[in-house]
Amino acid sequence: MKVIQKPGDKIVRPGKNNYILIIFDSCRYDSFMAAKPKTMKKLGKIEKRWSYASWTAPSHYNLLTGLLPHSSPSNVFASDYYKRDFLKYSERLGAEGIEFKSLIPKLYFPSFLKDSLGYRTHAKVSLPVLNPKTILNNGFDTYKLMEHHNDMRAMVREMKFSDDQPSFYLFNVGETHYPYALIDEPPEDWPRISGVHGVFKHLDDQVVGGKLKGKVEKFFDETKMEMLRQRQIRAVKHLDKVVEEMFDIVPKNTWITITADHGECFGEGGYFGHGPIHHDKVFEVPFVEGLLR
Ligand SMILES: [Zn+2]
């Protein structure tokens, strides 16, 4: 049984940890909490944080600069917040002396891990908007768009760790993205909603979201919105089991951060989805992390 080291605990092992950054795409904070995840909460306190962006591509770019969703502290200069935020990487990676200036000039975390700290770096992504031809694929030894958009278990099963080098994994997990479908759910059973159906095929090829008016107003049927919200909650419950399987597979001394790239609106303010939407629910994300050792 692995012991969980929580943020703030003293680093007990010199050297470098494996690091897994798991992004539940579109998973908003209250969906995560409503799912009452048993395994993921073992990592540490589940925080409500805010994403820097409202949709997948800019949010992942920001995450890969090393800036995870923020805690929005008041009376603090942004530069001081960034400085403090980067110092946490010493704890996450078990490597002393990491600070914001360590990433200068490229300011790209996978390249820093690979070139400066000797990590093997891997990305496994679910959303086509993050495909391997995008500019995000920089500093990775492997970068894969998964066969299915909703199969975190396949990512876990493909993980490989080496005794010689620490590993970094980025997982972009799609079960929590519209249509919140689990891998064993036949596509013909997925929800079909007028107005969104058209962009569904390519998921985030186009931004899902926007304020809908007029003809598609019936789209905002409260029952459907609640059904969709419940599907996202169900996806988190499912992912909690997949994370439990992952805990059993990963080596000791692996730091895991679980968060989201942005949230989602389920009818609040007349919005559905995320992207070109300015609403609190699009920025509220869960954040939990800790070390398996
Ligand atoms: Zn996203």
Q: How far apart are CA 108 and CA 118, in angstroms?
A: 15
- Second-level CATH architecture of 4-292: 3-Layer(aba) Sandwich (3.40)
Query: Are 235 and 286 within 8 A, CB to CB?
Result: no
Mean pLDDT over residues 220-248, rounded?
95
Locate the domains of the chain by residue range: 4-292
- Ligand 1 centroid – CA 22 distance (Å): 12
Q: How far apart are CA 168 and CA 281, in angstroms?
A: 30
- Ligand 1 centroid – CA 51 distance (Å): 11
Q: How far apart are CA 290 and CA 293, in angstroms?
A: 10
Residue % of the chain over a pLDDT of 90 = 75
Q: Across all residues in the chain, what is the average pLDDT?
A: 88
- Ligand 1 centroid – CA 67 distance (Å): 16
Confidence grade of residue 139 (pLDDT, cut at 50, 70, 90): very high
The per-residue pLDDT for 191 is: 86
- Ligand 1 centroid – CA 26 distance (Å): 5
The per-residue pLDDT for 214 is: 44
User: Looking at residue 211, what DSSP letter applies?
Assistant: B
The per-residue pLDDT for 216 is: 46
The per-residue pLDDT for 215 is: 47
Q: How far apart are CA 131 and CA 135, in angstroms?
A: 9
- Ligand 1 centroid – CA 130 distance (Å): 9
The per-residue pLDDT for 207 is: 40
Mean pLDDT over residues 138-161, rounded?
97
For the CA atoms of the chain, what is the radius of gyration?
19
What residues does the ion ligand 1 have nearby, CB within 5 Å?
25, 56, 261
The per-residue pLDDT for 9 is: 54
Mean pLDDT over residues 60-73, rounded?
97
Q: How far apart are CA 1 and CA 40, in angstroms?
A: 15
Torsion of CA 12, 17, 23, 29, to 10 degrees: 0
Half-sphere exposure of 123 (CA within 13 A, CB side): 28
Confidence grade of residue 4 (pLDDT, cut at 50, 70, 90): low
- Ligand 1 centroid – CA 25 distance (Å): 4
Checking DSSP bridges between strand 284-292 and strand 254-259, what pairing results, if any? antiparallel
Cβ burial, residue 155 (10 Å; 0-12/13-18/19+): buried
- Ligand 1 centroid – CA 292 distance (Å): 27
Name which of 52, 47, 46 is nearest 67 in CA terms. 52
The per-residue pLDDT for 98 is: 86
| One-letter identity of residue 195 | G
Residues contacting 9, CB < 8 A, separation 6+: 291
The per-residue pLDDT for 8 is: 57
The per-residue pLDDT for 89 is: 94
**Between 96 and 146, the higher pLDDT residue:** 146
Alpha helix (H) residue ranges in 98-221: 109-117, 152-158, 197-200
pLDDT, tens digit, 9 for 90 and up, residues 100-134: 888 889 999 999 999 989 999 999 999 999 999 99
Mean pLDDT over residues 237-266, rounded?
97
pLDDT, tens digit, 9 for 90 and up, residues 191-216: 876 555 444 444 544 444 444 444 44
Q: How far apart are CA 11 and CA 1, in angstroms?
A: 19
